[in-house]
Amino acid sequence: MFHKEGYKIIAITFIIVVGCYLLIDNFVALNWLQILLFTVVGVFLILILQFFRNPKRNTVNNNNHVLSPVDGKVVVIEEVFEKEYFKEKRLQVSVFMSPLNVHVTRYPINGKVLFSKYHPGKYLVAWHPKASEENERTTVVVENDTYGKVLYRQIAGALAKRIVNYAKEGDTATQGSDSGFIKFGSRVDLYLPLDTKINVSINQKVRGGESIIAEK
């Protein structure tokens, strides 16, 4: 199953791959070189298909849990001052996605979308300390009775050239459902209340819509 954001790119890739196979078959005489080029083109197609995959997740809907919004590795757990929306200290949990991870972004909690904003910006590597303030990004705030307001931020990386955000102010957020997509590598930051019990550790691998980041 593939994400709708990949349909156009996958179709174009198929056309390019078929064209390359025909050119290689007709104009490359050396057998070993044909095999090499066929392999390179095949690997390219597999990587594109893998990037846009959208596997079904078994989300257990629970208002006491904050689920990981994306697949990846936890790279930050720290108390920080959130400047854009809260303008106060929050617990930040950041998940880094490699190009091989699923890049669907999912709502971490149930609730109402209070805030959704896109920021154009740079394309620093996703783990750069200033990436959350200077890179292309979107900020979304969802509120429910258990956690109050939870902010998550999609951040473009050096390879990510487009962030897709479906969340609109006033929408009802359903935990684990699609809220966006980031094309080609990035990270997502979560900003939680200071009294939140964090359920993950640094370098832990997490799955979007399934792994419990925090609980009450």
| Catalytically active residues, by annotation | 186
Q: State how far the Cα of 20 lies from the Cα of 41, in Å rounded to an integer.
A: 7
Separation in Å, CA 107 to CA 34, 66, 71, 153: 46, 9, 13, 11
The identity of residue 185, as a single letter, is G
For residue 55, give both structure tokens. 């596997």
Q: Who's near 16: CB < 8 A, 6+ residues apart?
A: none
Beta-bridged to residue 53, according to DSSP, are 2
Please name the amino acid found at residue 198: I
Q: CA separation (Å) from 88 to 98, 148, 187?
A: 30, 14, 22
Tokens of 210: 């399934």
- 151 by Cβ neighbours in 10 Å (0-12 / 13-18 / 19+) ranks as buried
